[in-house]
Structure 1
């Protein structure tokens, strides 16, 4: 039997069981070991705020259409941070040197389910690097999201970068920006996350609730402001403060998943008067100027290589390892007590 985590309505979680089907041609069967929960995207479906619940995305027009919903409850098998063991390979793939073999540990996207049936092409090159702890493989996608934002920021050696939001992806962003040669100011409303940010390379930390963030950043840079800010919390007031914090002609990378109307975002203020570049970073693609050399798959593979080399520590970010049968507790924790959790991982 296959177990699948699903949302049956806003803030309603169950683990359903289904019979395992036959393996289709060209596919692999993977027994899940770990599956990381996204505290951003997934909570929008859990809470009922995801735009797909009320509108439909038109991939050709690149527009949301009002009317029919793109997804409906039950929303089954969300999740994009899985790692597991290959247990079955479609017979016609035997002997293909690029296809993972039975027994290999692989990372990829097949959702919160006890087994994934995945096209072989999506797992080529996704064998865990030698010596990498399996739990670390669950960070491939979130690491790529952070990596993508850092590439979009175009950081140069010695520049000042502010990272707004120090959840899991923000902490990884802070570390990658530091590795890129930046002096990093980490901003968050929780002191415990700011302490973790210092351990991940932040030069300065500021509390969004108690510090005058933009003013402090300008003071520290001789009045100029940060060269770049990366906003990764998905909060409109944080995006507004990021726009206030950068220099004239500076750049702000918006990498959060913003919900609803933009309360707290005033684009007639510093954004307009300081001619700020506002760039969207979204994991559906890489910065266009890098598309000839980079891909989302390369982001993920390179990030895991950095982890395997000891350049980035991710396993310390796992605050809770929860059995999949208790998935409802995991989502309730992230929804109601976010200050008590960082990366929550389901164990199958």
Structure 2
């Protein structure tokens, strides 16, 4: 018997036992070591605010529509940041190029499950790089989210960038933009996150409740304002300040998962008068101009290579490693006391 984490209703989570799956052809069985909890997308499902719970995504037309086929509680196996050990490989794919072997440590997406049967194609080439701590590989997906946002920002060497939201993805974006030669102003409301942003290379950390990012950006750039801004908090008010922070013709990347109406976003002000370019970054695809060269897989691999090379230290963002039995308390922590945590990881090695 294995276990899976599921949401049974808004702010209700439990761990349930599940039968072991039969290993079909073309598949691998993986025993989970670690599974990172997303404080963004996952919390929208936990809180009951995710749009997929009330509307249907029409993949063909790329529209949310009203319908009766939207997912409903219980929602089992959410999670997209897993690392585990291959315990079994179906005989028809043993030894094939790219297919992990038994005892290999792999990363991928199979949700908060103690064990998973995964198609070999989904783990093609996803062995954790040599020398990289397995825990670091739980950041492959969130690292790609941050990487995608920085690609969309088109920030150049020597330019100034404001990064709003210094949670896990925001801190990774701060580090990646810094590695690309940007001068980053890190923006948040939580002192511990602002301190970590300095550790990750930001030239300044701004408490947005105490100072104007737009004013500071201009004071540091001779009045021009930031060249680009990346908004990762999911707050429409932060998006408004991100727009204010850039100069004429500046670019703002909206990469947060915004919920509800955009209260506080006033497009008739700086957005209009400074002719600001507003673009969306979402992990479903790279910026259109880069689609011929970049995809999710390349972003994942590049991020893990940077981690393996020591250019970025994602493990430094892990504040809590919790047993699966304590998962309800972990979600409550992220939901009610976000200032106390950054990355929370389910540790299956403790069970």
Determine if the TM-score, normalized by the shorter chain, exceeds 0.5.
yes
Q: Smaller-chain TM-score range?
A: over 0.9
1:143 aligns with 2:143: yes
Q: Partner of 1:134 in structure 2?
A: 134
Asked if structure 2 preserves the Cα contact closer than 8 Å seen for 1:140 and 1:301, the reply is yes
Shift of 1:94: 1.4
Distance in 2 separating the partners of 1:183 and 1:213 = 14
1:1-24 deviation digits (Å, cap 9, x = unpaired): 120000000000000111112111
Alignment of 1:20-39 (within 5 A): 20-39=20-39
Q: Partner of 2:285 in structure 1?
A: 285
Distance in 2 separating the partners of 1:287 and 1:102 = 36
How many pairs were matched up?
348
Q: Partner of 1:247 in structure 2?
A: 247
Question: Which ranges in structure 1 are unaligned for 5 or more consecutive residues?
Answer: none
Shift of 1:268: 1.2
Question: Which ranges in structure 2 are unaligned for 5 or more consecutive residues?
Answer: none
- TM-score (normalised: structure 2): 0.98
2:233 partner SS: coil
Shift of 1:229: 0.2
Shift of 1:211: 0.5
1:256 aligns with 2:283: no
Q: Partner of 2:164 in structure 1?
A: 164
Distance in 1 separating the partners of 2:274 and 2:71 = 40
Distance in 2 separating the partners of 1:316 and 1:94 = 36
Q: Partner of 1:48 in structure 2?
A: 48
Q: Partner of 1:7 in structure 2?
A: 7
1:83 partner SS: strand
Q: Partner of 2:112 in structure 1?
A: 112
- TM-score (normalised: structure 1): 0.99
1:307-334 deviation digits (Å, cap 9, x = unpaired): 0000001111000000111110110000
- What is the root-mean-square deviation in Å for CA atoms of aligned residues? 0.7
Q: Partner of 1:265 in structure 2?
A: 265
Asked if structure 1 preserves the Cα contact closer than 8 Å seen for 2:190 and 2:339, the reply is yes
Distance in 2 separating the partners of 1:300 and 1:94 = 24
Asked if structure 2 preserves the Cα contact closer than 8 Å seen for 1:321 and 1:347, the reply is yes
Distance in 2 separating the partners of 1:161 and 1:99 = 40
Shift of 1:95: 2.2
Shift of 1:69: 5.1
Alignment of 1:155-194 (within 5 A): 155-194=155-194
Shift of 1:177: 0.3
Runs of 4+ in 1 over 6 A off after TM superposition: none
1:19-65 deviation digits (Å, cap 9, x = unpaired): 11211111111100000000000000000000011100000010000
Shift of 1:233: 0.6
